[in-house]
Amino acid sequence: MGRRVELLAPAGSLESLKWAILYGADAVYVGGPGFGLRANATNFTIDELKEAVEFAHQHQKKVYVTVNIVMHNQEVEKLDAYLKELEKIEVDALIISDPAIIQYAKEHTSLELHVSTQQSTLNYLGTKFLKELGASRIVLAREATKEDILDIKKHVDIEIETFIHGAMCASYSGRCVLSNYFTARDSNRGGCSQICRWDFDLLENGEKKQGEKPFTFCTKDLSMITKIPEMIELGINSFKIEGRMRSIYYIATVVSTYRNVIDAYYEKTLTSEMIEDAKKILDAVANRESTVQFFDGYYGKDCQYYNGRLELSNQDFLGIVLDYDDDKQLAKIEQRNYFKIGDTVEVFGPNHFVNKFILSHIYDEEGNSLEVVNHPRQVVWIRTPQPLHVNDLMRMKKKIDKMSIS
């Protein structure tokens, strides 16, 4: 069998990059200080990029940096210095959308070049063109069907990356100016304010239609967990998870769930029950409905929300395991959400599935018994029926409430 498919995770901070790698990502993509498409809060400084690359390379993993802005003149003169800086740091690839930047980077650096999904590549002619320009990998548009992928693989010998999980755009990714018009935030310069998820009133002759629910353009999320075997057999080289703004809990959960399914596929131990369980975990953490979107070649009404959306509240992320005392059967936890004696909690980690147990004893750092843990980042010890491991995560299923939010 050839090289295994790469699992590629998002990271909006050094902390989430480390958790993504720890929980099984083969590579991580990040935004640098310039030329990216996400808000500044989730972009890395040059020093953080250096640390990220060092950490990833120590673990034999890769770091890709987005250079996928829609470029205006003022950015052109800064391009050369920026690309050279990324080359010096030894990032593993750039993710670029503008063919001019691909050509420039090819001529002036020796960096590996991936074409961003912002380029909306859906056919082999475009793929061939981008390969000839210098790209070694194409991140296909989220709108690619399996027939599109097969055809591209048949005609062009190039690495193909596709999205497997996360939010969708109601337009071809980023080719939308709703955000610019409504909030003066440019979605192609990192500012999308997700107008497609807002509620809009329906008007008739300028009057709000009575009795009509508000309308939204909002799409459901993408989840390809049930299609992993089929996608590997199509010869896709990299599976990408969306979400550089997501929490470490979300990243760890989604990455480890796909890691387990991908590994089980290659080890020939994957069962339909495992896929079903994985789907339940992903549905709970995402807090939104999901579909396989365009993959099967049919994009129907089930892929879209129209009148607000029903959300099922997900699990609470309770804390991180910092240490474990085998003799006393106590785990040291850093709190992230309120928990108390009597709660049924679950713990999962990079290399093992969920342990479920009822919290029977909680102690503070001085050994005093506690009933509740309600201070942010409070460090406590809890009694556990099985040993836990450093960097395991503890969560609790919340009672399911239905609420309408867009």
Binding site for ligand SF4 (CB under 6 A): 169-171, 174, 176, 178-179, 187, 192, 194-196
What is the Cα–Cα distance from 147 to 138, expressed in whole angstroms? 16
Quickly count: other Cβ atoms within 10 Å of residue 351's Cβ: 12
CA distances 387 to 59, 363, 373, 390, 406, Å, are 25, 17, 21, 10, 41
Query: Closest distance between ligand SF4 and the C-beta of residue 219, in Å?
Result: 8
Query: Closest distance between ligand SF4 and the C-beta of residue 38, in Å?
Result: 12
Query: Closest distance between ligand SF4 and the C-beta of residue 170, in Å?
Result: 4
Query: Closest distance between ligand SF4 and the C-beta of residue 193, in Å?
Result: 7
Q: Choose between 43 and 219: whose C-beta lies nearer to ligand SF4.
A: 219
Give the SS3 label for residue 126.
Answer: helix
Q: Choose between 250 and 317: whose C-beta lies nearer to ligand SF4.
A: 250
Query: Closest distance between ligand SF4 and the C-beta of residue 178, in Å?
Result: 4
Q: Choose between 101 and 169: whose C-beta lies nearer to ligand SF4.
A: 169
Query: Closest distance between ligand SF4 and the C-beta of residue 283, in Å?
Result: 21
Contacts of 347 (CB under 8 A, 6+ apart): 321, 354, 355, 357, 384, 388, 392, 393, 394, 395
Query: Closest distance between ligand SF4 and the C-beta of residue 296, in Å?
Result: 22
What is the Cα–Cα distance from 55 to 58, expressed in whole angstroms? 5
| Structure-token match 């250096």, residue found | 50
Query: Closest distance between ligand SF4 and the C-beta of residue 180, in Å?
Result: 9
Q: Side-chain half-sphere of 49: how many Cα atoms within 13 Å? A: 26
Indicate the pairing of strand 159-166 with strand 221-223.
antiparallel
Q: Residue 404 phi/psi, 5° resolution?
A: -105, 115
DSSP code string of 53-102: HHHHHHTT-EEEEEE-----HHHHHHHHHHHHHHHHHT-SEEEE--HHHH
Q: Residue 26 phi/psi, 5° resolution?
A: -85, -25
Question: Which tokens sit at 99?
Answer: 């063919």
Q: Choose between 195 and 373: whose C-beta lies nearer to ligand SF4.
A: 195
Q: Choose between 170 and 341: whose C-beta lies nearer to ligand SF4.
A: 170
Q: Choose between 59 and 175: whose C-beta lies nearer to ligand SF4.
A: 175
Q: Choose between 195 and 278: whose C-beta lies nearer to ligand SF4.
A: 195
Q: Choose between 27 and 169: whose C-beta lies nearer to ligand SF4.
A: 169
